[in-house]
A and B are shown apart, each in its own frame.
Chain A
Amino acid sequence: MLAFLLFTLAPLLHAAWLSLYDWDGLLVGRYVGLDNYRALVSDPDVQASFLHAGKLVGFYAVLPIGLGLVLAGVLTRHPVRGMTFFRTTLFLPQTIAGVVVAQAFVWFYAETGPFNRVLELLGLGDRVTAWLGDFDWALTYVGTIGTWVTFGLCMVLFVSGTQKISPSLYDAARVDGAGAVREFLAVTLPGLRNEIVVAFVLTTINALRGFDVIYNATSGGPGNETYVPALVMFQNAFRYNKVGYSCAIAVTLAVVIFAVATLINLVAERGER
C-alpha cells in the first residue's frame, strides 16, 4: 500500500507538477503554467502519435474482439477435441515479452523474411517490400502485431463467458431451427455483453499506452509514421531533454486513457437500460 502510494501515485502527481515547468532535467526549471499543454496541441509529432494510437485501436481492440467472437461462436457449437491445446497455443502470444515479439516480427516482415515468401508463393512477388519500413504500410503492419498478440486473450475471455450462458438458451435456439449464425446473434452475442465491454476497455487501453513493441520494431519510423504517445513522451524526455513537456504528454495520455475507459463503461451502462 505504502509502496503503491510512493511509487505510483506520487510520481503521477510529480509528473503533473513537472508538466507546468520548462525543465531540461539539469538546471533550475522555469514555471510556465499551461504553456507545455498549449505547445503539445500544435506539435505535429504529438498529433501524429495520438492519431496513430486511434488507428491502432482498430488493430489492438476492434479486430481481436471480432476474431475472438468468431472463435467463441464456433466453439459453442459442439465440443472440440484438443481444446486445451488450441487454447494454450492461441493464448501464447500474450505471455511473450514485447521486445521478443518485436524481434520475431522484424524478421517475419523483413524483405527476405517468411511473410514475403508467402506472398511469393501466392504469386504476389512484385509486392515484396520491408513492410515495417514502408511509409504507406508500417502502421498497418505494426497494428497486425497487436492483433496477433491480443486475439487469443479475447477468445479465452469470450469462451469463459459462453460457459456462463444457460445451455437451455442454446437448446431452445436449436429446437427453433436456428443455424450457426442465428444462434450466434441471438444467444452468444447478447450473452457475452459484459465480456465484450471488459475486452474493449482492456484492449483499447493497451492500444493507447503501447510502447515496447513499437519502440523495438520500428522506433516510430519510418519518419514519424509509427509514432505513438508513449514513444513521443520518451523521446522528449531523454533525447530532447524537454522533461516538463514530456510530463505534459504523460499526463495527457493518462487523462485520455481514463476518459476513454470511463466513456466505454458509460456507453455500455446506458445501452443496458
Chain B
Amino acid sequence: MRTSRYERITTYTVLIAFTLMVVYPLLSIVFLALHRKSDLVTGFAFPWHPDLSSFTAAWTQDDGSGGPGFSTLFANSFIVAGTVTVISAVLSIGTGYAFGTMRFRGDRVVFAIVLLGIIFPYEATVIPLYYDFQSLHMLNSLWALILPQVGQSVSFGTFWMRAFFRSSPKALIEAARIDGATSFGVLWRVLLPQARPALMTLSTLVFVYTWNEFLLALVLIQDSDKQTAPLGLSYFAGTARAGDPTKVAAAAVLVALPIVVVYIFLQRHFIRGMLAGAVKE
C-alpha cells in the first residue's frame, strides 16, 4: 500500500521543521563564537569572516581576565571522566559476570539495591557528600568527583553487563569449564572478547555522563585549577558573559565539542545505551 505524495511532503516538512528547531539555537552560539570580541553581534549572525580568536582566548585565558584556561579544565575533565570510565567498566564486568552467570545467596536482594541506584536522584546526596569528604579532607581533589561517580556508573554498568552475560550462550561457558577453565578463565578468554560492543556502549555512556556532570563539581570543588570543564564554564560565564559574549560562546562550544564528536562517531552505541538506560526503569 503506497502513501500519497502529499503525505510524503508532509513527513519531510515536519522532520525538517523539527531539525531546524534543534539546530537553530546551537548554530546561533557557534556563529557567535566565530566572531571577534569587537564585533557587536546581534541575532543570528552568520560569521562572514570566521575568526578563531575567541577560541584561543578561552583556551589559554592569558589575557588575565581571571579563571584558568580551558586547557587546564579539559585536562581535569579528561582525568575524571577517563578514570571513572575505566574503573566502572572493570567493576561492572565483575559484578555483571557474577549476577549474570552465578547464583548466590541474596543475589536478588543485592541486585534490587543496585537497580535502586539507577533511578536514584543523586542530587539528594550531594550535600552530605560535601561534609563526608570534608571530614576525610578530600574536598578539592579530583577523587572527590571520581569516587561518587564510579558508584553511580557501576549501578548502570552492572545492569548492562548482566544483561550481556545472561544473553551469552550457556553451552560456551560449559564447554570451557569442561576444558578445565577456571571461572576467571571463562570470563577472560571466552566471554570478554565477545563483550566488546557492550563494553563500548557502556564506556561511551559513562564517559559522556561524567564529562557533562555539573552539580557534584559545583559542590565539591572550589580551587579554580581543579575545576572540570562544565564547572569552569559556569564560573566563567557568570563573570564574563556581559563583557565578552563571544569568548563565553567559544568556551561553551569547546566544552560541548569532544562529546559531540564522540556522539557523531558512536551515535549507534550512544542511542542504544540511552534507550537501555531508559527502558530498564
Contacts and interface: CB of A to CB of B under 8 A. Distances in A.
Interface of A: 1, 3-12, 14-15, 18, 25, 67, 70-71, 74-75, 77-78, 80, 86-100, 103-108, 112-114, 116-118, 148, 151-153, 156-157, 160, 171, 174-175, 180, 198-199, 201-202, 205, 208-209, 211-212, 215-216, 230, 233-234, 237-238, 243, 246-247, 250-251, 253-254, 257-258, 261
23 contacts: A3-B147, A3-B151, A4-B117, A7-B148, A7-B152, A8-B117, A11-B126, A12-B120, A75-B11, A78-B7, A92-B263, A95-B270, A97-B214, A99-B230, A99-B234, A103-B237, A103-B251, A113-B43, A202-B278, A202-B281, A205-B121, A209-B121, A258-B119
Assign chain B's interface to a size class.
35 or more
A11 B158 CA distance: 21
Contacts of B267: 88, 91
B25 A148 contact: yes
Interface in B256-276: 256, 259-260, 263-264, 267, 270-271, 274-275
Nearest to A18: B128
Nearest to A108: B25
Contact of A14 (B128, B152, B263): B128
A4 B1 contact: no
B248 A7 contact: no
A100 B271 contact: no
B119 A97 contact: no
Contacts of A12: 120, 124-125, 128
A253 B123 contact: yes
B212 interface: yes
A118 to B, nearest CB: 8
Given A5-B113, A156-B271, 18 more contacts: A4-B117, A7-B151, A11-B126, A11-B132, A14-B131, A70-B14, A74-B11, A89-B23, A96-B212, A97-B259, A106-B241, A107-B28, A113-B43, A198-B278, A208-B121, A216-B237, A233-B127, A250-B124
B151 A86 contact: no
B28 to A, nearest CB: 4
Contacts of B122: 8
